[in-house]
Each structure stands twice: as structure tokens, then as C-alpha cells.
Amino acid sequence: MTDQEIRERMAQFKFYHIIPLTETISTPGNTLYVPAQQLYLKYLRSLDLQGKRVLDIGCRDGLFSFEAEKQGAAEVIGIDNDLSKPAVEFLIPFFQSRVKMEQMNLYDLQPAAFGLFDVILFPGVLYHLRYPFWALRIIRELLNKDGILLIETAVWNREKNNSLLFCPTGKESPYEPSSCTFFNVKALADTLSVLGFEVLSHECLPAKKSWSAWRKESAGRLHYLFTGRQRPIRDVTRCVMTARFAGIDKESRYLQYWESTHAIHSKIGG
Ligand SMILES: C[S@@+](CC[C@H](N)C(=O)[O-])C[C@H]1O[C@@H](n2cnc3c(N)ncnc32)[C@H](O)[C@@H]1O
């Protein structure tokens, strides 16, 4: 394809990711997300993906799926509940990629659909989920023992010594209303631990405010001043966390309590 043809083809789509196509042409995605994506790429590139099965949840235009393929993954499957037309119709053929993408909600994922994975990429989705604990449980069931989960998400930057989940609704979200789940780092690490993961690393971006976040914050301040209500603390940043699925103890009484049937009350009474 000539540069001219690539540009004409790109003009037919709306892109989210900025993906280099040639030395001089990249897809016109959103620059706002680049710092978090760069941090994520750093951790993704540090994994050994040779011959691995990789699942990319919420893959959008496939920035991380294509990178996983480049890093030698044997198979890469991406799912998204709003499948990217530019990825399927343009990028996959352009790269002659073997990445497979399917439109699907992560809550409908089951091992029977695509089997188990060695690595699950889960960037930019957790903070959009209304049922985050259930999603992490689903993901756990899709990982091979010792498989790696690489999360990137927006985290609430307060109360660092307590496991807290900030779950705002509507205008109280620091982003927009579909962004409703902000663990702080401790809560995310603790949640992964009880689900059978060993947290290997985490790194957050420095919590500096963008111009639009600052404007929103100022407007919010006025709103709460006039209504007399207390203003939610919208102190969020982005964090990448790596975890290994160490396995679960199915006999654990708490796991049985949360996920299955148990006899705790019957035994102790009360
Ligand atoms: C903020 S974008 C992040 C895209 C990409 N993962 C990244 O980090 O650059 C969130 C993506 O996840 C998808 N998504 C959100 N909730 C989902 C769900 N429950 N199941 C599957 N995909 C979901 C959205 O459609 C969107 O493409």
C-alpha cells in the first residue's frame, strides 16, 4: 500500500489507539491515553511471551494484542464488548496478523470459549466495571496455574493504608459515568491476593492533573459549594499491576463461604 492509500483507508475509521503503521504513519488515536499505555507497554515487553497463549480483554484497536504477537506469543485473542471496526477491517489485514478479535462481554467469558491462557492482558477496563470482583474471579478461572495477569487501571490515590474501593455514580465519577470502580492500590493488591494471585509488581503514574480534570474539579467545587453537599475526593491516577495466579485452595473456608456452599454456621451455631 502506498502512503496515500494508507491515509485514505485510515480516513474511513475512528481510532482509539495510536499504532505505528510505517516509519512515518501512525493511526490517529487519542494522545491523552499515551502515558498509561507507555507504562503498560514497559511491563508487557518485560514478559516472556514466546509460544504463550494470550488473551487481551477490552482490546479496542489492538495496540497490546499486536505487541503481544510481536513479542512471540503463539496465539492472541482479543475480546471487546464494542468490537473495533478499524482493527478487524483494516489493522489485522494490514499487519497480516494472526490476532483474533471477537465482540463479547468479559462476563460471558468461560474457559469453554477459548480455553485457558498463559497471560491475560487487562488494561483500561477494570475501572469501567460495575461488578469488578466477579470479573476478577472470571479472569482467575481463565488462567493456567502460574499464568500472569497484567492489569492497568485507574486507581484512587487516597487512604493508602486501608483497602478501599471508590465506586462513584454519575457525575461524581472522576472521568465519566461508565467509570465507576476505583480501587486504591492496597485494595487491588489485597483483592488479587484473596483470589489466589501473588502480586509481583506495581507502578503508578505520578498523580498530576490534566487541564480538563482541573476544569471539571473546579466546576465540581462550585456545585458542592452551592448545594452544601460534601465533595467526593476525585484523586485518581493510573497503575499497572502484575500478578501470578498461584492457585486457590478449594477447601479454604472463606472461599467456600464466598463462592460455594459451606458449613460454618451449622458447625459453630449462631
Ligand atoms: C478505556 S478502553 C481501553 C482500551 C485498551 N484496553 C487500552 O487500555 O488502551 C476500554 C475498552 O474496554 C471495553 N470494555 C469495557 N467493558 C467491557 C466488558 N465488560 N467486556 C469487554 N470489553 C469491555 C470497551 O469497549 C473499550 O474498548
| CA–CA separation, 189 and 211 (whole Å) | 30
Phi and psi at 55, nearest 5°, equal: -115, 130
Would 18 be classed as within a structural domain?
Answer: no
Cell of 25: 504513519
Is the CB of 105 within 6 Å of ligand 1? yes
CA of 206 to the centre of ligand 1 (A): 23
Count of other CB atoms within 10 angstroms of residue 91: 25
Beta bridge partners of 183: 165
pLDDT at residue 226 in the model: 78
pLDDT at residue 231 in the model: 75
Is the CB of 106 within 6 Å of ligand 1? yes
Query: Which has the closest alpha carbon to 33: 46, 15, 13, 49?
Result: 15
Would 7 be classed as within a structural domain?
Answer: no
Cell of 94: 494490514
Give the chain's end-to-end CA distance (angstroms, integer). 73
Which atom of ligand 1 is the closest one to the Cα of 63? Answer: 9
Would 139 be classed as within a structural domain?
Answer: yes
pLDDT tens for residues 52-93?
999 999 999 999 999 999 999 999 999 999 999 999 999 999
Which atom of ligand 1 is the closest one to the Cα of 82? Answer: 25
Would 143 be classed as within a structural domain?
Answer: yes
CA of 60 to the centre of ligand 1 (A): 6
Count of other CB atoms within 10 angstroms of residue 174: 21
Lowest-confidence region among 22-26, 207-211, 245-249: 207-211
Is the CB of 163 within 6 Å of ligand 1? no
Would 163 be classed as within a structural domain?
Answer: yes
Q: How big, in percent rounded to 5, are the helix, strand and coil portions of the chain?
A: 40, 20, 40
Cell of 137: 474471579
Instruction: Give, in degrees to the nearest 5, the angle at Cα 163 between 159 and 168.
Output: 75
pLDDT at residue 209 in the model: 63
Cell of 262: 459451606
Check whether 217 has a pLDDT greater than 70.
no
Instruction: Tell me the residue range of the domain where 61 lies.
Output: 31-268
Is the CB of 60 within 6 Å of ligand 1? yes
Which atom of ligand 1 is the closest one to the Cα of 40? Answer: 8
Would 87 be classed as within a structural domain?
Answer: yes
Phi and psi at 143, nearest 5°, equal: -100, 140
Would 1 be classed as within a structural domain?
Answer: no
pLDDT at residue 254 in the model: 87
Count of other CB atoms within 10 angstroms of residue 230: 7
Looking at the structure of the chain, the number of domains it has is 1
Q: How far from 62 is each of 37, 81, 103, CA to CA, in Å?
A: 12, 13, 13
Check whether 155 has a pLDDT greater than 70.
yes
Is the CB of 58 within 6 Å of ligand 1? yes
Would 250 be classed as within a structural domain?
Answer: yes
| Confidence category of residue 220, pLDDT binned at 50, 70, 90 | low
pLDDT at residue 137 in the model: 96
Is the CB of 62 within 6 Å of ligand 1? no
**Protein residue closest via CA to atom 2 of ligand 1:** 124
What CATH number does the domain containing 150 carry?
Answer: 3.40.50.150
Return the best residue to mutate from 56, 57, 81, 205 for the ligand 1 pocket (most ligand atoms within 8 A of CB). Answer: 81
Q: Report the predicted TM-score, pTM, of the whole model to 2 decimal places.
A: 0.93
Check whether 230 has a pLDDT greater than 90.
no
CA 28 to mean position of chain CA atoms: 22
Is the CB of 179 within 6 Å of ligand 1? no
